[in-house]
Amino acid sequence: MKVTALHDGTWREAPSDTWMRLRELELKAPRYTTYPARDHFVEAFDATSYRRWLQRRRLAGAGPLSLYVHLPFCPSGCHHCARDKLVSRSHARALDYLRQLEREIGMLAAEIGHGQQVTRMYWGGGTPNFFRPDELAGLAGTIRGLFRVRPGGDHAIEIDPRNAEPELAARLAAIGFNRLAIRVPDLDPEVLRAVRRPQAAIPTVGFIADAHEAGFRSIGLELVCGLPRQTAKGFLRTLEELIAMGPTRITLHDYRYQPQRYRNQRHIRAAELPSLAELTSLHARAHERLAAADYEFIGAGHFARPDDPLARALRAGHLDWDCHGYSTQPESDLIGLGASAISRVGASYAQNLRSPDEYVEAVRQGLLPVARGIELDADDLVRRAVINGLCAAGRVAIESIEIAHLINFQGYFAAEIRALDPWVDAGLVEVDEEWIAVTPPGRRYLRAIGACFDRYQRESVRRANVDPIL
């Protein structure tokens, strides 16, 4: 069935089983914040391997950096969470973590050279505002003492508005942050009871108003689709409340129920999760409402007002994709700091120890706290370039890939191009001799389309004897 885009950005209904199959493929696809996915990282890549890549960067005089800072502490645990976090109310324990984090920053700066320019920072968790503003300012001061942080860069921090103290937005702006990612999984009381996360709209409203007044150029709200007891009616009600708060971005994250992997999710009753049909309907109606509210669809569940930097970057054709999703900054090496943080340096990934206690102990001993990683081969690099291009811009210039990676695209990716045929037939992808381009309705399924080029994913599907296409 052909899916035809209309002039206003909506599209005609296809049979429900087709839409459901598309949504299922997107849910099953890796998130592609790394390629290969972190499940393929190996312990043979250790601190010595990571140090070698850091030294290569130093000798090469590479360009600007991005920094990711992981602050894993949360005052309470939510049943749906799939983050690397530590539920604790011990401030002494958190301050010890902070001291070791500052020590790791010093170790990394010594490896790559002091004074490296940083054009992008992202502080995540956990709950970064578990720490007091003066403690966050102290950590930022340590970073600025060792790196050159560009004032006009993209500097973001995640916030839980339930724990936002008065004047927090103004103090974060003074520290140097200019973008906020505010976690509000839902506002429906029934849903929040099911995931043990009491949340009220009032603190969020106040915090967003403060953030606008403080001059933040981008204020994002992050919702979760597919939580227990979630219905299209209730989710749209939440969406209406959040749109009224005036955020510049809204992100719809797909909930992935993995109780075998995350013990806290075992408290969730599988019978209370929305069905695939309900989830598909929820997405469709959310897209329609956000379009009506003048949010541009970026892709991968991200929406932005036309004046948000994300929307401007998409229109200008310089949107990028990296370890934390969309980026308005050019591709750069990423240094991950803190427990579980992932670094991308050259043709490598390195991930720190996931346990905060093990991380703290390793750094206390003066060790780079690397747990695992991977060195990418030529095949990994060309596939990463294609997948990142599809996820970011929704298109890939075939000639540019051929020149950069010294391949004949049509021959090298013959099987992958055939795997795109059902997407082409559905009107979601266009392929010619020069480009592979995702059509506007196809941007809902960027990860699933990118998975056609994922060698690891395709091999896994073949081993399971499951048809990977539509």
pLDDT computed for residue 201 by the predictor: 67
Per-range mean pLDDT, top range of 7-16, 21-30, 139-148, 313-322: 139-148
Average pLDDT over residues 68-81: 89
Mean pLDDT over each residue of the chain, to the nearest integer: 91
Bridge partners for 302 per DSSP: 251, 299
pLDDT value at residue 264: 87
pLDDT tier at 164, thresholds 50, 70, 90: confident
Average pLDDT over residues 104-110: 97
Start-end of CATH 3.80.30.20 domains in the chain? 38-334
Give 60's contacts (C-beta < 8 A, 6+ positions apart). none
Q: What is the pLDDT of residue 470?
A: 53
As given in the structure block, the two tokens for residue 426 are: 């559905």
- Element (DSSP H or E) covering residue 365: none
Average pLDDT over every residue of 385-403: 95
> Can you tell me the mean pLDDT for 64-71?
96
Instruction: State residue 76's pLDDT score.
Output: 82
248's tokens: 């510049």
Q: What is the pLDDT of residue 217?
A: 93
DSSP state of 5: B
- Taking the CA atoms of 302, 183, 141 and 217 in sequence, report the sign of the dihedral they define: positive
Query: What is the pTM assigned to this prediction?
Result: 0.92
Give the pLDDT band (50/70/90) at residue 7.
very low
- Would you place residue 199 in the very low, low, confident or very high pLDDT band (cuts 50, 70, 90)? low
* Mean pLDDT of all residues in 10-26: 70
Give residue 6's pLDDT: 31
What is the percent of the chain with per-residue pLDDT over 90, rounded to a whole number?
74
CA atoms within 13 A on the CB side of 333: 23
pLDDT in tens, 212-238: 999 999 999 999 999 999 998 899 999
Share of the chain above pLDDT 70, in %: 94
Percent helix, percent strand, percent coil in the chain, to nearest 5? 45, 20, 35
Q: What is the pLDDT of residues 21-56, one digit of tens each?
A: 998 999 999 999 999 999 999 999 999 999 999 999
| Cβ pair 341, 351 in contact under 8 A | yes
pLDDT tens for residues 232-283?
889 999 999 999 999 999 999 999 888 898 888 889 999 999 999 999 999 9
Please give the sequence-ordered ranges of beta strands (E in DSSP) within 47-110, or none if there are none: 65-71, 73-74, 86-87
- Is residue 226 within 8 Å of residue 280, measured between CB atoms? no
- Tell which CATH classification among 1.10.10.920, 3.20.20.70, 1.10.40.50, 3.40.190.10 matches the domain 16-30+378-463: 1.10.10.920
pLDDT band at 200 (very low <50, low <70, confident <90, very high): low
Among 15-19, 98-102, 383-387, which stretch is predicted with the lowest mean pLDDT?
Answer: 15-19
The pLDDT of residue 349 is above 60: yes
Name the region of 325 (left: φ>0; alpha: ψ -120 to 50; beta: rest): left
Mean pLDDT of 334-359: 97
Residue 12 has pLDDT above 50, yes or no: no
Q: In terms of DSSP H, where are the helices of 224-299?
A: 232-244, 276-292
Residue 176's pLDDT is 96
Contact 51, 340 (CB under 8 A): no
Query: Could you confirm whether domain 38-334 is CATH 1.10.10.10?
Result: no
Under 8 Å CB-to-CB from 410, ≥6 apart: which residues?
398, 417
Inform me whether the pLDDT recorded for 2 exceeds 50.
Answer: no
Cis omega (within 30 of 0) for bond into 373: no
Residue 14 has what pLDDT?
44
Say what the pLDDT of residue 5 is: 38
Phi-psi region at 338: left, alpha or beta (left = phi > 0; alpha = psi -120 to 50): left
Cis peptide upstream of residue 133 (ω within 30 degrees of 0): no
Secondary structure letter of residue 75 according to DSSP: S
- CATH 1.10.10.920 intervals, the chain: 16-30+378-463
Say how far apart CA 111 and CA 345 lie, in whole Å. 12
